[in-house]
Amino acid sequence: MQMFVILLQNTLGAGGMGAQNSLESPTEYGYTARMVESEKLFERACCVIPGGVNSPVRAFRRLERAPFFVSRAKGCHLTDEDGKQYIDYVGTWGPAILGHAPECVLEAVQAAIPQGLGYGIPTRVEVEMAETVCRWFPSVEKVRMTNSGTEATMSAVRLARGYTGRKYVIKFEGCYHGHVDSLLVSAGSGALTHGEPDSAGVPEEFAALTIALPYNDTAAVAAAFARYPGQIACVIVEPYPGNAGFYLPRPGFLEFLREITARHGALLIFDEVMTGFRISPAGVQGKVGITPDLTTLGKIIGGGLPVGAFGGRREVMDCVSPLGPVYQAGTLSGNPVAMAAGLAQLRYLEAHDSYTRLEMLGARLEEGVRRILRDLALPLTFKRSGSMFCLFFSTEDVYDLRTAMRGDFEMFRRYFLSMLEQGVYVAPSPYETGFLSTAHTEADVDATLAAMQRALAKVRQM
Ligand X SMILES: *Cc1c(COP(=O)(O)O)cnc(C)c1O
Containing 145, the helix (H) or strand (E) segment is strand 142-146
Which is nearer to ligand X, 177 or 414 (by Cβ)? Answer: 177
Residue 230 CB neighbour total at 10 angstroms: 12
Distances (CA, A) of 28 to 84, 111, 151: 16, 47, 46
Which is nearer to ligand X, 149 or 336 (by Cβ)? Answer: 149
For position 308 contacting ligand X by CB under 6 A, the verdict is yes
The distance of closest approach from Cβ of residue 242 to ligand X in the complex, given in angstroms and rounded to an integer, is 6
Residues 6+ apart with CB under 8 A from 209: 167, 168, 169, 182
Containing 382, the helix (H) or strand (E) segment is strand 381-385
Is 198 among the catalytic positions?
no
Site for ligand X in 127-156 (CB under 6 A): 148-150, 153
How many Å separate Cα 327 from the centre of its chain? 27
Distances (CA, A) of 112 to 108, 109, 115, 130, 324: 6, 5, 6, 18, 32
> Looking at residue 69, what DSSP letter applies?
P
| Nearest Cα to Cα of residue 137 among 257, 316, 294 | 294
Is 397 among the catalytic positions?
no
The distance of closest approach from Cβ of residue 433 to ligand X in the complex, given in angstroms and rounded to an integer, is 8
The distance of closest approach from Cβ of residue 189 to ligand X in the complex, given in angstroms and rounded to an integer, is 7
Which is nearer to ligand X, 81 or 271 (by Cβ)? Answer: 271
* Cis-peptide into 322, omega within 30 deg: yes
For position 429 contacting ligand X by CB under 6 A, the verdict is no
Q: Which of 84, 171, 299, 383 is catalytic?
A: 299
Q: Which of 168, 176, 399, 425 is catalytic?
A: 176
Spatial contact of 244 and 431, defined as CB atoms under 8 Å apart = yes
Site for ligand X in 274-303 (CB under 6 A): 274, 298
The distance of closest approach from Cβ of residue 307 to ligand X in the complex, given in angstroms and rounded to an integer, is 8
Containing 222, the helix (H) or strand (E) segment is helix 218-227
Q: Which of 80, 88, 271, 444 is catalytic?
A: 271
Site for ligand X in 221-240 (CB under 6 A): 238
Q: What is the dihedral of CA 248, 250, 256, 258, to 10 degrees?
A: 20
For position 271 contacting ligand X by CB under 6 A, the verdict is yes
The distance of closest approach from Cβ of residue 183 to ligand X in the complex, given in angstroms and rounded to an integer, is 9
- Report the residue from 273, 326, 344, 401 that binds ligand X according to the rule CB under 6 A: 273
Which is nearer to ligand X, 180 or 451 (by Cβ)? Answer: 180
Which is nearer to ligand X, 341 or 459 (by Cβ)? Answer: 341
Residue 444: exposure state from Cβ atoms within 10 A (0-12, 13-18, ≥19): buried
For position 243 contacting ligand X by CB under 6 A, the verdict is yes
Choose the stretch contacting ligand X; rule: CB under 6 A; options: 173-181, 254-262, 356-364, 391-399. Answer: 173-181
Is 271 among the catalytic positions?
yes
Catalytic residues: 176, 271, 299
Footprint of ligand X on this chain (CB under 6 A)? 148-150, 153, 176-178, 238, 242-243, 271, 273-274, 298, 308
